[in-house]
Amino acid sequence: MRQRKKTGIFFPRFEGQRLKDFPQALANILDKENVSYYDGVYTSDNPYYVKPATEEMLVKVHSRDMIEGVKRAGYYETALYSAGGTVQAALEILWGRIDNAFVFTGVGDHHAGRNFFGGWCYFNGAAVAIAMLREGGVTRFAIVDTDSHHADGTRDIFCQDKEVLHVCFCYQDYHDECGNVDIALPYGISDGAYVRKMEQEFTRRAIVFKPEFIFWELGYDAVHGEYGDKGISKDCPAKLAKVIKDTADTVCRGRLVTILCGGSRRQLATYIIPRVIKELAELD
Ligand SMILES: [Zn+2]
Ligand SMILES: [Zn+2]
């Protein structure tokens, strides 16, 4: 019998409406033997406790001034747990305990730069995780971003970094010699056309670039009816998950950290997220 991917689900502490149906909405996923569940409400001696990021981790990416600004902004603890979940997911993969991960976040990543934050993004969890993985000897990374908006924070952090490929699906076309790529998605693009763009613009580049880890900023705000509506269907994120997972299988032994990014509607979260996780964990 085929060995399924070992998938970790990281559920840090947070408030808010959009994830009210979780983790209950994962009931027929969490009972699978290849799925591990990590939660921020466990006691800290539990190996499946989601740990908050520490200030020592954050300063590897963010300025002290910026961190102080986040403390004053009111979502500091949520931001620590969100980034902490991503760091822990990446390290669990590095240590071979899981193959890939889905990280629920209370606040996002991709609008948080070295010295600024905004748009419900406070700390750049992917960037902090990359800094931690580098200390573990990993050097090359790819970040693919399917949130509807441009990832200005992630771009700020990695724009000069030739060992990070950053492919951002947004509203502009751009590429340079440092691995920074933007792909414009026209409004009304079909799911099939988006999937083909993902294969052409991300998979092909990743095969050449040879990252050792892939991070996916999964915004579902480009789904029809959301605030970044591009007209794609609510089935599109799971189709993209399959392409990105297959890319990780081809280039980096399946090492993939999926980070929940933009999107607001509870019903869409409840529809989309379990389907994405089923693709990651190879459940039918
Ligand atoms: Zn967005
Ligand atoms: Zn972009």
Please write the tens of the pLDDT for every residue from 87-130.
999 999 999 999 999 999 989 999 999 999 999 999 999 999 99
Read off the pLDDT of each residue in 144-169 and give the average, rounded to a whole number. 98
Among the bound ligands, the one closest to the CA of 153: 2
pLDDT band at 244 (very low <50, low <70, confident <90, very high): very high
Every domain of the chain and the residues it spans: 7-280
Q: Which CATH class is domain 7-280?
A: alpha beta
CA of 149 to the centre of ligand 1 (A): 4
Q: Is the pLDDT of residue 194 over 80?
A: yes
Q: Residues 251-277: what's their mean pLDDT?
A: 97
- DSSP secondary structure letters along 220-233: -TTBTTSTT--SB-
Residues with CB under 5 Å of ion ligand 2 are: 150, 168, 170, 182
Distance from Cα 109 to the centre of ligand 1, integer Å: 10
Tell me the CA–centroid distance for residue 201 and ligand 2, in Å.
13
pTM of the model: 0.97
Query: Which bound ligand lies closest to the C-alpha atom of 147?
Result: 1
1-5, 57-61, 101-105, 240-244: lowest mean pLDDT where? 1-5
pLDDT exceeds 80 at position 144: yes
Angle at 11 between CA 6 and CA 15, to 5 degrees: 165
Within 10 angstroms of residue 28's Cβ, the number of other Cβ atoms is 10
1 CA distance to ligand 1 middle (Å)? 40
Rounded distance from Cα 229 to ligand 1 centre (Å): 10
Ligand 2 centre distance from Cα of residue 82 (Å)? 22
Question: Which one of the ligands is nearest to 110 CA?
Answer: 1
Ordered strands of the 7-11 beta sheet: 35-39, 7-11, 100-103, 256-260, 213-218, 141-145, 164-170, 180-184, 174-175
